[in-house]
Amino acid sequence: MTDPRLWRILSYGILAFAVLVLIYLVLPTLVIVPLSFSSETFLSFPPPGFSLQWYDAFAQSLDYRIAILNSVKIGLPAALFATVFGTLAALALVRGHLPGRRLLSALMIAPLILPQIVLAIGLFPIMVKLGIIGSYAGILLGHTVLAMPLVFITVAAALKSYAPTYELAAMTLGANRWNTFRFVTLPMIKPGVIVGFIFAFAFSFDELILAIFLTNPATRTVPRLLWEHLNYQMTPVIAAATVVLLVITLSMLAIAAVYARTGARKPSGAAS
Within residues 158-177, the interface with another protein by CB under 8 A covers 160, 164, 167-168, 171-172, 174, 177
Helices 62-90, 186-206: axis angle to 10 degrees equals 140
Q: Does 86 bind another protein (CB under 8 A)?
A: yes
Please select the residue that binds another protein; options are 69, 247, 253, 258, rule is CB under 8 A: 253
Q: Looking at 179, 249, 251, 262, which residue binds another protein (CB under 8 A)? A: 249
CB of 231 to another protein, least distance (A): 8
Which segment (35-43, 50-58, 59-67, 68-76) binds another protein by CB under 8 A? 35-43
Q: Is residue 12 a contact point for another protein (CB under 8 A)?
A: no
SS3 50: strand
199 binds another protein (CB under 8 A): yes
Interface positions, 131-160, toward another protein (CB under 8 A): 141-142, 144-145, 148, 150, 152-154, 157, 160
Let me know: does 193 contact 151? Beta carbons within 8 Å: yes
Query: Which residue stretches of the chain are H helix?
Result: 4-30, 32-36, 53-60, 62-90, 101-113, 116-130, 136-160, 165-172, 177-180, 186-206, 209-214, 222-232, 237-265
**Rg of the chain taking only CA atoms, in angstroms:** 23
Considering only the stretches 52-60, 61-69, 70-78, 112-120, report the one whose residues sit in contact with another protein under the rule CB under 8 A: 112-120
Site for another protein in 46-65 (CB under 8 A): none
Beta carbons of 69 and 132 less than 8 angstroms apart: no
Binding of another protein by 179 (CB under 8 A): no
How near is the Cβ of 147 to another protein at its closest, in Å? 11
Rounded Cα distance between 218 and 160, Å, is 43
- Choose among 57, 5, 61: nearest CA to 36: 57
Question: Is 75 within 8 Å of 86 (Cβ atoms)?
Answer: no
Determine if 43 is a binding residue for another protein (CB under 8 A).
Answer: yes
For the bound state, the minimum distance from the C-beta of residue 60 to another protein, rounded and expressed in Å, comes to 21
Q: Which of 49, 50, 115, 232 binds another protein (CB under 8 A)?
A: 115
